[in-house]
């Protein structure tokens, strides 16, 4: 019964009989109740419930709710391929609300070892989830409602000089990400492969954190910029700017205890 129509035909100053009376009202009410019971059946044999043709476009936001009894393994299996496709990978560089970290000019002096990476700057840990409280018949429940799905890192590396001088030495730089769920492991997002003395080199990297690690409730991410030189020396590396932006999806609601 794709488009139910009113049966009751009563009118002012007319006898309330048949479809104009209680019988018509009963049929209309029964059809309304069937609209809220998918296990019922309309008189024409069609299943109960509200069909998609009776729902306004855009009236309902797609949400996926995980059974609270799911283990982390089941959660990962179910969402590992689908969750990543929700949300848009397009990062608007002018949208400040998406900024997770913004670091200005930073100098780092080290005793560099030949051909070994040294850190110049890092962000504070960036949380990949946000929690919210939803009221349920059983009481308030915590849910993860926002996921940082796509990230854009923009870095401008100024130079590496010998300490106490203005002499620029050839260097390479790279950008790595680390996650609390993978301690001791750095994931290389960008890496130069040849030494160069060129100053003020910039790079923008777009990636998804969950290409590297699984979905974890306690997961946070740190972005680091590193450099290396070809010979051991006392050097100072300078990063001119480091910005991390990320857009989030609001299309997924995951119970906190699903992890």
Asked if residues 117 and 219 have their Cβ atoms less than 8 Å apart, the reply is: no
DSSP string, 51-108: -GGGS-TTSS---EE--TT--HHHHHHHHTTTGGGSS-----TT-GGGEEEEE--EEE
Confidence tier at 43 by pLDDT (50, 70, 90): confident
Q: For the chain, what is the mean pLDDT? A: 77
Mind listing the pLDDT tens digit for each residue in 57-115? 655 444 443 444 334 443 344 444 333 333 444 555 555 556 788 999 999 999 999 99
Confidence tier at 56 by pLDDT (50, 70, 90): low
Assess whether pLDDT exceeds 80 at residue 144.
no
Query: What is the reported pLDDT for 107?
Result: 95
Q: Residue 1: which residues within 8 A CB-CB, separation 6 or more?
A: 31, 34, 42, 43, 44, 46
Query: What is the reported pLDDT for 79?
Result: 41
pTM higher than 0.85, yes or no? no
**Domains by residue range for the chain, with CATH:** 87-258 (2.60.120)
Mind listing the pLDDT tens digit for each residue in 6-29? 777 777 777 777 777 888 788 888
First and final CA of the chain: distance in angstroms? Answer: 41
Assess whether pLDDT exceeds 90 at residue 123.
yes
Length of the chain: 259
- Strand pairing class (186-191; 171-179): antiparallel
Query: What is the reported pLDDT for 174?
Result: 97
Secondary structure class of 34 (helix, strand, coil): helix
User: How far apart are alpha carbons 152 and 246 in whole angstroms?
Assistant: 6
Mind listing the pLDDT tens digit for each residue in 199-227? 899 999 988 887 888 766 667 899 999 99
Query: What is the reported pLDDT for 191?
Result: 96
Query: What is the reported pLDDT for 181?
Result: 84
- Strand pairing class (171-179; 220-229): antiparallel
Between residues 80 and 34, the one the model is more confident about: 34
E-assigned strand segments in 97-232: 99-103, 106-112, 118-122, 126-127, 129-136, 139-162, 171-179, 186-191, 201-207, 220-229
pLDDT mean over 169-179? 95
């Amino acid at each position: 019964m794709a488009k139910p129509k009113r049966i009751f035909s009563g009118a002012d100053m007319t006898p309330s009989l048949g479809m104009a009376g209680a019988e018509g009202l009963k049929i209309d009410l029964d059809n309304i109740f069937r609209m809220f019971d998918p296990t019922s059946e309309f008189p024409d044999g069609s299943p109960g419930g509200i069909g998609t043709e009776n729902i306004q476009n855009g009236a309902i936001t797609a949400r996926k709710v995980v059974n609270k009894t799911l283990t982390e393994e089941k959660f990962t299996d179910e969402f590992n391929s689908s969750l990543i496709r929700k949300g848009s990978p397009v990062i608007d560089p002018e949208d400040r609300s998406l900024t997770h970290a913004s670091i200005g000019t930073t100098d780092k002096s080290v005793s560099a070892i030949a051909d070994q990476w040294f850190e110049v700057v890092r962000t504070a840990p960036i949380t990949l989830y946000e929690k919210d409280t939803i009221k349920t018949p059983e009481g308030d429940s915590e849910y993860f409602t926002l996921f940082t799905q796509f990230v854009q890192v923009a870095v401008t590396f100024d130079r590496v000089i010998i300490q106490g001088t203005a002499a620029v030495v050839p260097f390479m730089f790279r950008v790595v990400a680390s996650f609390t769920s993978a301690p001791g492991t750095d994931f290389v997002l960008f890496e130069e492969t040849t030494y160069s003395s060129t100053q003020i080199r910039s790079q923008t990297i777009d990636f998804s954190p969950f290409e590297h690690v699984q979905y974890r409730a306690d997961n946070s991410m740190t972005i680091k910029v590193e450099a290396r030189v070809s010979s051991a020396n006392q050097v100072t590396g300078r990063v001119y700017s480091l910005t991390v932006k990320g857009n989030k999806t609001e299309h997924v609601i995951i119970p906190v205890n699903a992890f």
